[in-house]
């Protein structure tokens, strides 16, 4: 089973709202990732968790706050977003952080109004 699940599938939020995106995998993978993807662009890496520790933060604004409660779960907390943050947010996992393929979830399509 190579499934990564993400909830919700769609999210509309105002600029003053607080919301969270959730990601789950049960493949025993020890690396998990958040990406942001705009239309007609490749995914942009936001965060990498390696063995449940944040190992990469690609200078993402603090209105995005990641959390890894355990090895299977990854959250992305959203607060005071801007309309330009509207995008597809993809979660991925890989067996270990380096050298292995990443398996992606279906994404959360976020619209900030």
What is the closest distance, in whole angstroms, from the C-beta atom of residue 68 to another protein in the complex? 14
Question: Could you give the count of Cα atoms lying within 13 Å of 20 in the half-sphere of its Cβ?
Answer: 10
Query: Rounded to an integer, what is the distance from CA 3 to the centroid of its chain?
Result: 15
Told to check if 41 binds another protein by CB under 8 A, we report yes
Stretch that binds another protein, among 19-27, 64-72, 73-81, 102-110 (CB under 8 A): 102-110
DSSP 71: T
Told to check if 87 binds another protein by CB under 8 A, we report no
Burial 46-60 (b: 16+ CB within 10 A, else e): bbbbbebeeeeeeeb
Out of 27, 45, 60, 80, the only residue in the binding site for another protein (CB under 8 A) is: 45
Footprint of another protein (CB under 8 A): 2, 31, 40-43, 45, 48, 50, 55-56, 88, 90, 92, 97-107, 109
């Amino acid at each position: 089973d190579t499934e990564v699940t993400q909830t919700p599938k769609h999210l509309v939020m105002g600029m003053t709202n607080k919301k969270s995106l959730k990601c789950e995998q049960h493949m025993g993978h020890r690396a998990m990732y958040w990406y942001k993807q705009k239309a007609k662009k490749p995914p942009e890496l936001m965060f990498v968790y390696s063995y449940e520790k944040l190992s990469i933060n690609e200078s993402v604004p603090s209105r995005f706050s990641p959390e890894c409660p355990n090895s299977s779960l990854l959250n992305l907390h959203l607060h005071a977003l801007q309309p330009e943050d509207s995008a597809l947010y993809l979660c991925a996992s890989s067996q270990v952080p380096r050298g292995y393929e990443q398996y992606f979830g279906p994404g959360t399509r976020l619209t900030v109004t």
